[in-house]
């Protein structure tokens, strides 16, 4: 099976991890700060905190923005559930803004209309999670302008987007947001096995997230309530978690991020071949914004089912049966049973639901050979063109 995504591990990655295994620190050593420095260098953000997943990163980002009971978080329905669940972890309510049918990202016009209504009802969101689906940045300038006008905070869920650029800035620079989150799951652009990070330009937010990452414990005397009892002394000053990244993961991250540009460039090369060779099929190829450089985590096509004699599921299943490991990103979050129990239902977000009826993610990963890609192209062509 040609997978839809896969990590690319070279000897330098293995050597970096083995060196940690032979070192004094498996956790809480020098590799995590080194990885954080590499993330700062790659993005231009002032602060980076490595954590054990993007899910944890989203959670502590929401906590740092003081999201809690009685507050509301908005995000897009076309995302992984974690972009919404982080609001629920904090006791907040979650709601969604429909997608732009061209980019599949949260639609800024729909956002504006929903904000106007929410203001009338005194139900404005406190936090918006803007997800850069497939690596393509959201319209952050428009979102930022609305954040200023309506007074909400913005988290960029850039789990798909490290190595990309929005206008003149690397994704993660937080130029138009309060916090950006990355994921380093193996299918993503850069991997640490499991892992994630939060980035911000705000020192207060960075300090809060550092506390939440590690039990709410500090060794900083200036933050303590009591005079230290001795050099062993630490204080728990808030309720935090163990969301720390290990040294093994961080060393892998440092090694991987050295190839960030190459990883994204390969994805662009593979995408160009898809654009060229799939152009005549009854499918919609992903629209790429002219003012940005996508991280291209995913390559999502949409079937024109009026011109194909098979169903969405039929095409998907036939591709899988032919060894093409396609996937579907994502089932609209509001249609998950857990969210439907909160009152969401089919019909709430029509563009997201329509996307779900015909979207398919094609295989795309750094180590993909031209032969593998040609196989995907050939099989897809046969399947959508045959009766
Ligand atoms: C958009 C998005 N947000 C959040 C996550 C959660 O990432 P992690 O698996 O690192 O917790 C993912 C992972 O698939 C994702 O795609």
| Tens-place pLDDT, residues 101-127 | 999 999 999 999 999 999 999 999 999
pLDDT at 85 over 90: yes
**What's the pLDDT at 324?**
98
Which residue minimizes the CA distance to atom 4 of ligand 1? 82
- List the one residue out of 375, 364, 386, 245 whose CA is nearest residue 310: 386
Please state the rounded mean pLDDT for residues 208-235: 97
Chain mean pLDDT for the chain: 98
Residues marked as catalytic: 188
Alpha-helical (H) ranges within 65-139 are 82-89, 108-120
Task: Find out whether the beta carbon of 53 lies less than 6 Å from any atom of ligand 1.
Answer: yes
**Axis-axis angle for helices 31-43, 247-257 (nearest 10):** 30
Task: Find out whether the beta carbon of 127 lies less than 6 Å from any atom of ligand 1.
Answer: no
Please state the rounded mean pLDDT for residues 137-143: 98
**What's the pLDDT at 56?**
98
This prediction's pTM: 0.98
Cis peptide before 330 (omega within 30 of 0): yes
Task: Find out whether the beta carbon of 180 lies less than 6 Å from any atom of ligand 1.
Answer: no
Distance (Å, whole) CA 364 – CA 359: 15
- How does pLDDT run across 298-345, given as a tens digit for each residue? 999 999 999 999 999 999 999 999 999 999 999 999 999 999 999 999
Q: 88 C-alpha vs ligand 1 centroid, how far in Å?
A: 16
Which residue minimizes the CA distance to atom 14 of ligand 1? 80
Name all domains of the chain by residue range, CATH numbers in brackets.
Answer: 2-257 (3.40.640.10), 260-385 (3.90.1150.10)
Query: Which of ligand 1's atoms lies nearest the C-alpha of 133?
Result: 1
Task: Find out whether the beta carbon of 75 lies less than 6 Å from any atom of ligand 1.
Answer: no
Task: Decide: 209 and 200 in contact? Cβ < 8 Å.
Answer: yes
Query: Which of ligand 1's atoms lies nearest the C-alpha of 297?
Result: 16
pLDDT at 90 over 90: yes
Ligand 1 pocket, mutate which of 49, 57, 60, 82 (most atoms under 8 A from CB): 82
pLDDT at 213 over 90: yes
Q: 387 C-alpha vs ligand 1 centroid, how far in Å?
A: 37
Distance (Å, whole) CA 8 – CA 15: 14
Share of the chain above pLDDT 90, in %: 99
- How does pLDDT run across 91-103, given as a tens digit for each residue? 999 999 999 999 9
More confident residue, 32 or 387: 32
Task: Find out whether the beta carbon of 196 lies less than 6 Å from any atom of ligand 1.
Answer: yes
**What's the pLDDT at 190?**
97
pLDDT at 387 over 90: no
Ligand 1 pocket, mutate which of 54, 75, 294 (most atoms under 8 A from CB): 54
Please state the rounded mean pLDDT for residues 15-33: 98
Query: Which of ligand 1's atoms lies nearest the C-alpha of 184?
Result: 10
SS3 content of the chain, % helix, strand, coil (to 5): 40, 15, 45
């Amino acid at each position: 099976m040609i997978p839809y995504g896969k990590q690319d591990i070279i000897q330098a990655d293995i050597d970096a991890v083995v060196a940690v295994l032979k070192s004094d620190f498996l956790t809480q050593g020098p590799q995590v700060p080194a990885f954080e420095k590499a993330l700062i260098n790659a993005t231009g953000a002032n602060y980076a905190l490595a954590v054990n997943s993007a899910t944890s990163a989203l959670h502590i980002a929401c906590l740092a923005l003081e999201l809690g009971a009685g507050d509301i978080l908005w995000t897009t329905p076309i995302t992984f559930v974690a972009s919404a669940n982080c609001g629920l972890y904090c006791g907040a309510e979650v709601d969604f803004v429909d997608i732009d049918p061209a980019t599949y990202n949260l639609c800024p016009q729909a956002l504006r209309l929903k904000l106007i209504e929410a203001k009338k009802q005194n139900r404005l969101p406190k936090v918006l999670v803007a997800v850069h689906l497939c690596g393509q940045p959201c319209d952050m300038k428009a979102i930022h302008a609305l954040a200023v006008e309506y007074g909400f905070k913005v988290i960029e869920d850039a789990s798909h987007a490290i190595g990309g650029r929005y206008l003149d800035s690397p994704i993660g620079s937080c130029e138009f947001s309060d916090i950006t989150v990355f994921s380093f799951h193996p299918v993503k652009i850069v991997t640490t096995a499991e892992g994630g990070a939060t980035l911000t330009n705000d020192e207060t937010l960075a300090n809060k997230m550092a506390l939440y990452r590690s039990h709410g414990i500090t060794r900083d005397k200036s933050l303590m309530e009591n005079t230290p009892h001795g050099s062993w002394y630490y204080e728990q000053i808030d309720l935090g978690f163990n969301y720390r990244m290990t040294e093994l993961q961080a060393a892998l991250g440092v090694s991987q991020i050295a190839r960030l540009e190459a990883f994204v460039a390969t994805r662009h090369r593979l995408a160009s071949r898809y654009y060229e060779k799939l152009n005549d099929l009854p499918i919609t190829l992903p629209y790429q914004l002219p003012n940005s450089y996508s991280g291209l985590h995913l390559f999502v096509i949409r079937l024109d089912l009026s011109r194909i004699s098979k169903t969405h599921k039929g095409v998907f299943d036939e591709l899988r049966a032919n060894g093409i490991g396609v996937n579907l990103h994502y089932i609209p979050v509001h249609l998950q049973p857990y969210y439907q129990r909160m009152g969401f239902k089919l019909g709430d977000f029509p563009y997201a639901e329509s996307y779900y009826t015909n979207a398919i993610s094609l295989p795309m990963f750094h180590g993909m050979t031209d032969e593998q890609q040609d196989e995907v192209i050939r099989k897809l062509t046969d399947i959508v063109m045959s009766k």
